[in-house]
A and B are shown apart, each in its own frame.
Chain A
Amino acid sequence: MRIKHRWVALLMVLGLIAAACGGGGAEAPEETAATTAPPATTAPPAGGGDGGEEPMDDGMMEIKTDVGVDLEAGVIKIGLLSDLTGPFGPLVSLIVAGQEVFWQNVNDTGGINGLKVELEVRDTQYVVDNHVQFYEELKDEVVAFGHSTGSPHTVAIVPQLEEDGILAIPLTWYSGWTDADLGENLLHHGAPYCIEAQNMIEYLMKQAQANGVENPKLAIASLPGDYGLDSAAGAKIAAETLGLEVVYDGSGTIIPTDESTLTANADAIVASGADIVWITATPGSFAPIYGQAIAEGFQALWGGAGPTFNPAFVAPDSAIKDAIARDWYQSSYYANWFDDNPGSTEARELFAKYRPDAPAQDFYIEGFIEGMMMKAALEKAYENGDMTQAGVLAAAKSLEQVDFNGMAPPERFTGTPNEQLQRYIYISRPDPEGLAAGTSTGLQMIEELYIADIVKDYVFEEACYKLGG
């Protein structure tokens, strides 16, 4: 290629890349959550870092530390294994933002007994290899993991976590984390998908019966993997316990990258004539299925695991906004952003203080919940005088109960798995008017701390869905 042409080509390529980068220097932080640039790693602190430290000897109680806690510099490092640019990027970025604001507030109000918490964020892009790689990198830098995104990813590092004796908070609601074998180094939180499904199926059944349908028929569809199949397993358990007929079982058949599975599911759901549809998918794969079904005149009560719904569905310009406001019942593991419980209120105030331009999103609360659990563990470890990795793990596992200021039901970490199992969920309905007016995030809570009768009686022995061996 002639020299001149090559330089022109290079310039065009650079232009393309600059266009792709989108929100660059001059712009203010992005408005919509979906295009928010993901957060980056924090700059390493100027002092100390990751070596073994001698116990402080200035009149304070002696605190043992090994990795991730630098008493002299007053820094505690927490690692976050997040998916920032992968399939769950937009969602996890919000959770990371929630954690950042939470810890910023903690640091500004005295820290953990004077120690400030710093986050080391790594983008795994939802690839297991990267997850394992970053775990290896961070295991000698941080005292614990503030969250670990993805079930197969977390399962991949469980053997190492156990060998290295480090604590991690899984960022998934798989029922296996409550199982003592798998969850030894993990802090489960939120009703698992399986329990969420059981709660919701009973609730939807009661709604259907109130609408005059005596024996509602159930259709189930889901993604494969822990998320979809754990939720579908819960729906099936509920159907069996309640005596509901399952007229379509499409668990594990929704493949987001394969459109034929979406149309096939929509057709099957419509043909089955179900009264209740339990669908666990990503928003991007749920929307076409729902759209096609209602276009064919299908009407039923629809519900699914929390992450299936996206507030954009009830945005003013959404084609399905009225239908979904009529049909959809949303479950979630924590309260809404605009709820008036003390935790949500404080979270809103903190965001107004530190990130006034950030749009309202329910997912920030998950970041706060993770932060609160880690804070409880760190404070307990400090009290015990042992802030080594093993010390923080032991402290976390000895916490009887962690409260979330009304944002979520308390979590128990002592006792049998059956006693620790989280059984409460929050139920909301889509709220297009509220979203348009800015008074809600697109969801209006109707049931707080809901527990179904069948869930009250449910005995937890092991995960509803076993992740492949």
Chain B
Amino acid sequence: MAVAGLFATSSLLLFAVMFWLADAGMLRTVDRSVLEQLVLLSERPPDLLPFMIASRMDHRPRVITSVGLFDPDGRLVVGDIATIPRPLRLDKTVQTLAIPDAGGEAQRVAGLRLHDGRILVVARSLRNVLEVRASLLRAFVLGLIPTVLISLLAGTLVGLRTQRRLARLHRSAERIIAGDLAERLPARPAGDELDQTAVIVNAILDRLQELVAALQGAGENIAHDLRTPLTWVRARLERARNGPGRLGPVRPLLDQSIGGIDQALAIIAALLRIAEIEHVRRHAGFAEFDLAEVVREMAEAYRPVAEEKDVMLEADVPHAVRISGDRDLMLEAVMNLVDNAVKFTPRGGRVVVALCGGIARPVVRIADTGPGIPPEERRMVLRRFYRSDKSRGSVGTGLGLSLVAAVARLHHFSLCLGNNEPGCVVELHCWEQAETGCDRSDADRDTAGRFSSFPRKK
């Protein structure tokens, strides 16, 4: 817009200058001709003057200046100027005056008192000048104003377009900041500066994505490489434990060592499992299955586990719900959630495993009466290995929720954590969505803020 305004202003300025210069030039020409005529005539021998003036009057074609010779009292002797206009200074100064009885139009007039007292007056009509002025103004109106309007319009349109582009860039940037490293800014390679900047940023993002993948891959490689030596150690310890001979006080140590290694191996297995879910294209394994059956199965499987702890486990799975996905992965994901719920609910608590939301938008909802997850931690718990302070010391790998998040991402489902007051509510929204995470401040449907951890596009 600023540029358009500048353009309009400079166009106006240009016109104004042209107009002024042209006008001044024309006036100068007029004045010059008046003065020249005046001087010319004043230098003639005085007795020839009337004759010259008279012959001028009969001249064909008509001369453009009017001349008048007056006696010292101001009475016309000869010429085509009837009277001396009042305010005329008789010292060769050119003034714009109206000649009485000559139509009242403005003329450039100059006068001079001759040596013999007679007065010589020369005048020239400004009619031509005024006509040109009017033409120029007309040209201005017809030409310049549309030009200004067009430039303002163009400026507005370009401005709007840029705004839209910026809005799009902003949206892409937000998605990237939220964690979607696969997102790229919209750009045309051969476009303007904005596009070129976007192309550069996209190149940076390519590199960033590479590095992050390498980092993640490094973790997985380490896990993978650790597996074999750990298994080897475990085998040795087992052989020692199962071998002949009395072990005495060593036995419990061996048992604990084996247990410790089992824990490490479980973490490795879970980590590699998550990596597998994230990297391998499992859309090929997608098929239709009954989500209700999966949820019911898990609830039943864990009922005895809950009963051991005096935790009441309720299942609320009214009817069949068919969805498309990987049944094994969903089974695993739901199992992790139910396992967590039962694990973190203290004795006498309650866990509700439900499938709600209807056929089109089914939601697997697991609520417990445990310590819950405080809002500030909800982003973090989906990260690998995060253990909130409340769960420290409990059995597990710390990777359960990460795995569920990975399965959710693969299916483009949404995982939401909320407050059960007391306790935690985890919801798995089982329909395809653009964003795969959300944060809840309470069990109602008010989204507190957007969350996602590296969701990937198809």
**Do A and B come together as binding partners?**
no
Which residues of B approach A to under 8 Å, CB–CB?
Answer: none
